[in-house]
Amino acid sequence: MAKDNLVYDKATFTKMFKIYEEENITAMLDMMDDENNKTTAKHQDILLKNRNINWIPRIEEFAKSQPTFFGVGAGHLAGEYGVIKLLRKAGFTVSSVQ
């Protein structure tokens, strides 16, 4: 990273921030899949999929016992194993808060 004075990292952060501002969760997931993000792309099962799957029963438990707000990182929202789809499959109504 330091070899190019963080040029790549700064450009990546700028792109990620723009995607976040546009609320484009699919583009965020695509960015994480990018071959230039080798660590993230290679370990998405550990970083996202498995964590998201494990969260659903916990979210369900908390939500049944009391009104609860759940906040997750944008990378956890999109995709087949994104929190949004997993919660909907579990019977929840999911909506964004702005």
| Length of the chain measured in residues | 98
Hey, what are 70's tokens? 């759940």
Write down the domain spans for the chain: 2-89
pLDDT-based confidence at residue 88 (cuts at 50, 70, 90): very high
Q: Is the pLDDT of residue 73 over 70?
A: yes
What confidence tens digit (pLDDT) does each residue in 14-42 have? 988 899 899 898 888 888 777 666 666 66
What is each CA distance from 93 to 22, 52, 68, 90, in whole angstroms?
23, 17, 13, 9
Query: Quick check: pTM over 0.75?
Result: no
What confidence tens digit (pLDDT) does each residue in 1-21 have? 566 778 888 888 898 889 989
